[in-house]
Structure 1
């Protein structure tokens, strides 16, 4: 996947919470698909220059995909692995990043987006880790027509062609492990593990409280998932968050949504942020195939209306 002739430009949108920066990666020979992408970082870290944003976008653009990478606002920093830690510093809470990702999709898939040669039905939505939660939650917003004020001038925003999630956060509380996963998680070093208490603290920091989310768009796991677009999930192998990705895939299938789920062999959480690892290249190839090959994708199904 080459980057020769790749065009990269930063755009500043008049977003729902102020200026919203989006970095657009345009392939040299015209786009066959578009992707709005949200990096990860526990809702509080990450930027457009990290490999999970920049390397992913460059790689996919080399396969003919125009990528709009979203610089969404971040939650306050928190040492979520330490019990009782308090946030230190400024930041935003839900629903700000969720609304920004949905707004960016509405812009990209609209008439003023970065690839006018693409129809609205050729745009995808995706993200990694916490960005996967933002993308999945935004897909629920789009299904329900709950886009932020100002998006597309109030016009109906189309559903994404599909959703691509890499080792996503999906549930407010981490689902239970199956024995195979439990054994792999138990062998992880502390810095690569995500205990259930740490996940709850991270998610509580995103919400701004420890109670129920109060909105189906905060964490898509356990919500009404009917009518969502086809979804492709790439999980890391040795990763506690795989429990959520696999549970979410099962919930999508039970809701009648076309879904494919892959466990990238030998990887740990965040493997797209480590381009030198072979699992990163394999996952990029899988994602590129899904974005550019309709035969692998499936279709959006019932219900006919988008409001639940």
Structure 2
């Protein structure tokens, strides 16, 4: 299936060159942010201005982590809303809650679903390899449960969501939570997730990538998980987990023209086999990041509306 012609045309007409590959982490993050600043406001959605609160969460043995809470209205005493802990994407090496796509989607989802969205600013690789980001995510989840009353959220109505690498962290966190605290997670939303970091699944599906694309993919994973023997852990590659029982209901979105499409669809099938409620949506004609460009793609708009609908079920 070719990439959506409307999206290709819109990106081409912008004339913004894609970021060049580099091994320098700071330069990579700078150019990725500049690219999104140039492209997203013109092709992505716009979001409402919402009340925001920021908190620093202590993480034992790891760097403290910033969590930014988006409220659908000014928080006041007695507020008791569902909450979604959100993880941004960027290959574990770049991205952040300061990126316009992340800020917009958090605000839109908080407003449209009438929930609190808690965006976590987890630490990046290679300076902070696995399991730093995952442990920060678990600490943020524990903090949301512990401080629920003060934050105006309901600890019995918690969802997790993530895009790309963030979706990998979400899936992994559901396993960590099941193995440790078993907080009652109501939903997990995985957008274009990579779930087998051994890359076995991509190879098995005979995905066609140029040599430099394979090399960059392998470097990305090596930056996040330097020790190859760890890549089969369910906390790194949830698709390879032997036990998928007792995980939260899942809403999985894959992109048609994405090397990781097979990961998400195989995980949906495996969860269903383990009797975990799951829905899977494939974005026809879109590449890995195509779901961001709502002004250029009807498919992207439909996908984001579906996510807001899924989050509204937290009120059921």
* TM > 0.5: yes
Shift of 1:177: 7.3
Q: 1: CA distance between counterparts of 2:54 and 2:273?
A: 40
Alignment correspondent of 1:109: 145
Please show how residues 247-262 of structure 1 align to structure 2 within 5 Å: 247-262=266-281
Alpha carbons of 1:5 and 1:31: their partners in 2 closer, same or farther (altered >3 Å)?
farther
Contact 1:31 1:66 in 2 (8 A): no
Instruction: Give the helix-richer structure, 1 or 2.
Output: 2
Q: 2: CA distance between counterparts of 1:200 and 1:260?
A: 29
Contact 1:239 1:268 in 2 (8 A): yes
- Determine whether 1:171 maps to 2:221: no
Alpha carbons of 1:114 and 1:244: their partners in 2 closer, same or farther (altered >3 Å)?
farther
Q: TM (normalized to structure 2)?
A: 0.74
Please show how residues 1-308 of structure 1 align to structure 2 within 5 Å: 6-16=50-60, 17-28=62-73, 32-63=81-112, 64-76=114-126, 91-112=127-148, 115-116=151-152, 118-145=153-180, 156=181, 158-174=183-199, 175-176=201-202, 186=208, 195=214, 198-213=216-231, 215-223=233-241, 224-278=243-297, 279-293=299-313
Alpha carbons of 1:236 and 1:31: their partners in 2 closer, same or farther (altered >3 Å)?
farther
Alpha carbons of 1:227 and 1:176: their partners in 2 closer, same or farther (altered >3 Å)?
same
* Structure 2 residue matching 1:168: 3-state secondary structure: coil
Contact 1:37 1:69 in 2 (8 A): yes
Contact 1:34 1:67 in 2 (8 A): yes
Shift of 1:52: 3.9
Alpha carbons of 1:124 and 1:230: their partners in 2 closer, same or farther (altered >3 Å)?
same
CA root-mean-square deviation = 2.8
Deviations 1:213-267 (A, max 9, x none): 3632122111021110100001112111101111111111111211110012221
Contact 2:48 2:108 in 1 (8 A): no
Q: 1: CA distance between counterparts of 2:96 and 2:67?
A: 11
Contact 2:198 2:232 in 1 (8 A): no
Shift of 1:65: 2.0
Alpha carbons of 1:271 and 1:213: their partners in 2 closer, same or farther (altered >3 Å)?
same
Q: 2: CA distance between counterparts of 1:114 and 1:234?
A: 33
Alpha carbons of 1:5 and 1:214: their partners in 2 closer, same or farther (altered >3 Å)?
closer
Shift of 1:115: 4.0
Q: 1: CA distance between counterparts of 2:204 and 2:231?
A: 25
Deviations 1:11-69 (A, max 9, x none): 11112313211111100176753100001111111111224421210110121121110
Contact 2:202 2:259 in 1 (8 A): no
Contact 1:235 1:262 in 2 (8 A): yes
Unaligned runs of 5+ in 2: 1-44
Unaligned runs of 5+ in 1: 77-90, 146-155, 297-308
